[in-house]
A and B are shown apart, each in its own frame.
Chain A
Amino acid sequence: MAYSRRVVSMFVVLIVVAVTAAQAGEKNAPPSQKIPKGSKVFVAPIADGFDSYLKDAIAKKKVPLEIATNRDQADYEITGTAETQKASTAKILIMGNWHSREEASITLSNIKSGEVVWAYSVHQEASTHGKRSSAESCAKHLKDAIEQGK
């Protein structure tokens, strides 16, 4: 009897060890990529005032998000970078192109979890409307991401 008890207790201990080891070996869970409609988003200052263009574009493209003026009240935060290069004399004379070169990249992160849920970058070699075009491109893709849940 004593022997069988000992064996049973050993089994119990080993099963507990196996379960805890299996839990420890689990893979990291993928983050939730869904951005709920109507979420409050704070647009952090971006170089050259790109954040203003982005706010306007979000409104113009009817992105289902609410812009928060205070970061503490927001669920998500948009950060990023933007760069504009005006057409040089050489570009105008040689290439016959007077449009500016626009580059921007934005990141949408969940403030609570600290995870980046969406990111997008745009490059326009000859942007017709400058920063406005790149900001609207960002807003359009953000809207698609929210509506498609991707």
Chain B
Amino acid sequence: MQNKRPPKVLVLVALILSVATYSQSAQSQENSSATDQNKPANETTPASNQPAKEAASDLKQASSEEGKLATVNDAKIPSYARVYVAPMLGGFENYIIAGLRNKKVPLTVVVDRSKADYEISGVSESEKAGWAKMLFIGVQNSNEQASIKIAHLKTGAVIFGYSVHKTNSARGKQSAGEACAKHIKQIVIE
């Protein structure tokens, strides 16, 4: 009889271990893509062009209506992760934050970089309608373009990139900020 005990105990131990490791494995799966990209992301910083090409080959691009999206190995951001939006030219960071709220992206935006898990940084540019555009096309809307990237602050890996270009943007920077937010939402686990 005693010979049959150890297998039962082992089964129970295995069950408890599987429960214990389940949550950790789930979390590590979410972060694995980010941590896996640590090497290519770090390799892009040196001056040599070869690693940059390798990192670029890992980017998965998908064209949308007005912009281009690139995620690295289908990286995901856990919901309500703490995100810091770095200052951008023309105060575009405010439009991104407003866009995140408007599009109900489940992220927590913080104003202190040290408290954040991820950082959103980028550039933006507005081109106002000139007299020729108004005269010949009859449009007074501006052209907007912006490009953002999301980096995991602990690993330094860039996990997401998106660029948007809007010709005759109806709502200027607001439209571009909301486009960025809409695409960020796609990589957030809800």
Name A's B-contacting residues (CB within 8 A).
Answer: 7, 10-11, 14-15, 17-18, 21-22, 24-31, 47, 79-83, 85, 88-91, 94-95, 97, 101, 103, 105-107, 109, 114-116, 118-123, 125
Contacts and interface: CB of A to CB of B under 8 A. Distances in A.
Given A11-B16, A27-B79, A114-B112, A94 B98 contact: no
Interface in B115-154: 115, 128, 130-131, 134-135, 138, 140-141
A96 to B, nearest CB: 10
Contacts of B80: 27-31
B184 to A, nearest CB: 14
A116 B177 contact: no
Interface stretch (B38-46, B50-58, B67-75, B87-95): B87-95
B165 to A, nearest CB: 17
Interface residues of B, number: 50
Interface in B11-69: 12-13, 16-17, 19-24, 26-27
Contacts of A94: 131, 134-135, 138
B176 to A, nearest CB: 10
A62 B149 CA distance: 39
* Residue among B80, B91, B138, B175 facing the most chain A CB atoms (10 A cut-off): B91
B109 interface: yes
| Residue among A25, A30, A91 with the highest chain B CB neighbour number at 10 A | A25
A21 B21 contact: yes
A25 B130 contact: no
B174 A25 contact: no
B173 A105 contact: yes
B158 interface: no
B9 interface: yes
Contacts of B19: 18, 22
A90 B156 CA distance: 48
Interface string B157-181: 0000000000000111111010000
Nearest to B131: A90
A14 B21 CA distance: 11
A79 B91 CA distance: 10
A28 B100 CA distance: 17
A111 B46 CA distance: 38
Contacts of A88: 131
B182 interface: no
Contacts of A89: 131
A24 B28 CA distance: 11
A89 B12 CA distance: 81
A81 B79 CA distance: 27
A21 B173 contact: no
Contact of A30 (B95, B98, B106): B106
* A-B CB proximity, top 10 nearest: A81-B91, A25-B23, A90-B131, A105-B94, A28-B80, A121-B98, A18-B20, A116-B109, A119-B98, A123-B171
B167 to A, nearest CB: 16
Contacts of B100: 119
A24 B94 contact: no
Contacts of B13: 10, 14
